[in-house]
């Protein structure tokens, strides 16, 4: 395996390319850009390399996007961030401070990542017509945002490239937060969740205040269309951080627009399971089945 790294955007985003050996086959490979979760405050390691190895084993070229967050800002200084330090920084932010995690900046970074891969398909041995995105939790929001907005003129203007360069051919969403307002309402109705944490997470995404236009664009189901790529989703019913209705509503929007989709729901399992194996520290043999189901689906949509 060969590993390469490159920067994207104007803040702290870095991409790690994990490139499999060609072996006896020299044809271009499919590729996936992985967007780990982390509440847009950090980039989860549990949702990065563990799923990357699964894709490498299936012959994919893999790109892990560590988009701009407080965590990646600290890493850019050559330090490994502790969660308490990130929370402290988040709680002391001045209202007008820009972190780079605010919507739509990570979306721009993801679009630039996709564009870079397509512009360098020979270097990475990638099939330009088979590049998808995968995201967990907040990373699922990021991946879905590209899936629904890639063809929008406003994004093209911000990215500075034609939309064909960053169009995803498929998207995979694991326990994604796709509707921040819905998630807040459900948490309040059920009397669960940490209001201080939710406020802090909102600050990471929306800045000092939530503008209606930005909230609308950040609500992925509002922009599902016939241009949205085929979508694989999974979620657990016991998730008390990102509620399953996020995914159910998105599936309904996909169905209304005749976008190919597949959804798997698992009753048991908390938030952040990733591949649900020993390598992640969160083992759930039943939920692990989403991985082979996803690869079967990816073969089916070719």
Q: Write out pLDDT tens, residues 199-243.
A: 888 999 999 889 999 999 999 999 999 999 999 999 999 999 999
Counting residues of the chain whose pLDDT is more than 90, the rounded percentage is 82
**What is the Cα–Cα distance from 69 to 50, expressed in whole angstroms?**
21
Residue with tokens 């979306």: 107
**Mean of per-residue pLDDT scores for the chain:** 94
SS3 267: coil
As a whole number, mean pLDDT of residues 125-139 equals: 97
**What band does 22 get if pLDDT is binned at 50, 70 and 90?**
low
| Structure tokens, 281 | 């520290």
**What is the Cα–Cα distance from 108 to 142, expressed in whole angstroms?**
10
Contact criterion met (CB below 8 Å) for 15 and 3: no
Residues contacting 194, CB < 8 A, separation 6+: none
**What band does 93 get if pLDDT is binned at 50, 70 and 90?**
confident
Contact criterion met (CB below 8 Å) for 111 and 166: yes
pTM value? 0.96
**What is the Cα–Cα distance from 73 to 98, expressed in whole angstroms?**
12
SS3 116: helix
Q: Examine the pLDDT at 26 and tell me if it is beyond 70.
A: no
The DSSP code sequence of 80-115 is PPPHHHHHHHHHT--TT---S-STTHHHHHHHHHHH
Residues contacting 155, CB < 8 A, separation 6+: 104, 107, 108, 111, 149, 163
Q: 208 or 164: whose pLDDT is higher?
A: 164
| Structure tokens, 19 | 């490139």
**What is the Cα–Cα distance from 42 to 72, expressed in whole angstroms?**
6
As a whole number, mean pLDDT of residues 65-79 equals: 93
**What band does 21 get if pLDDT is binned at 50, 70 and 90?**
confident
Q: Examine the pLDDT at 68 and tell me if it is beyond 90.
A: yes
Dihedral-angle region of residue 256 (phi above 0 means left; psi in -120 to 50 means alpha; beta otherwise): alpha
Helical residues (DSSP H) of the chain, grouped into ranges:
49-57, 70-76, 83-91, 105-119, 121-124, 138-149, 153-159, 180-190, 195-206, 212-218, 245-256, 290-300
**What is the Cα–Cα distance from 28 to 39, expressed in whole angstroms?**
34
Could you tell me which of 132, 114, 213, 220 has the C-alpha nearest to residue 176? 220
| Structure tokens, 248 | 């159910």
Please give the pLDDT value at position 206.
94
Please give the pLDDT value at position 302.
84
Domains of the chain by range and CATH? Answer: 2-300 (3.40.50.1820)
| Structure tokens, 107 | 């979306």
As a whole number, mean pLDDT of residues 273-292 equals: 95
Contact criterion met (CB below 8 Å) for 96 and 208: yes
Contact criterion met (CB below 8 Å) for 178 and 250: yes
């Amino acid at each position: 395996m060969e590993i390469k790294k490159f920067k994207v955007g104007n803040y702290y985003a870095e991409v790690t390319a994990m490139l499999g050996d060609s072996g006896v086959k020299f044809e271009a490979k499919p590729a996936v850009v992985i967007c780990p979760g982390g509440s847009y405050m950090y980039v989860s390691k549990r949702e990065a390399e563990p799923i990357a190895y699964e894709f490498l084993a299936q012959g994919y070229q893999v790109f892990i996007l560590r988009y701009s967050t407080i965590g990646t800002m600290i890493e850019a200084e050559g330090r490994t961030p502790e969660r308490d330090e990130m929370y402290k920084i988040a709680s002391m932010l001045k209202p007008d401070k820009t972190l780079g995690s605010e919507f739509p900046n990570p979306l721009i970074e993801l679009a630039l990542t996709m564009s870079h891969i397509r512009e360098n398909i020979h270097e990475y041995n990638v099939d330009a017509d088979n590049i998808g995105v995968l995201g967990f939790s907040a990373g699922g929001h990021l991946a879905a945002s590209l899936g629904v907005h890639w063809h929008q003129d406003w994004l093209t203007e911000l990215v500075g490239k034609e939309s064909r360069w960053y169009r995803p051919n498929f998207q995979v969403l694991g326990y994604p937060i796709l509707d921040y307002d819905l998630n807040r309402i459900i948490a309040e109705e059920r009397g669960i969740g940490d209001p201080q944490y939710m406020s802090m997470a909102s600050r990471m995404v929306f800045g000092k205040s939530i503008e209606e236009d930005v909230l609308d664009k950040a609500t992925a189901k509002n922009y599902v269309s016939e241009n949205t790529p085929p979508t694989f989703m999974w979620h657990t019913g016991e998730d008390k951080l990102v509620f399953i209705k996020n995914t159910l509503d998105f599936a309904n929007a996909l169905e209304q627009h005749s976008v190919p989709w597949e959804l798997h729901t698992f009753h048991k399992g908390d938030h952040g399971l990733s591949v649900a194996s020993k390598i992640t520290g969160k083992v759930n043999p039943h939920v692990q089945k989403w991985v082979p189901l996803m690869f079967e689906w990816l073969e089916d949509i070719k």
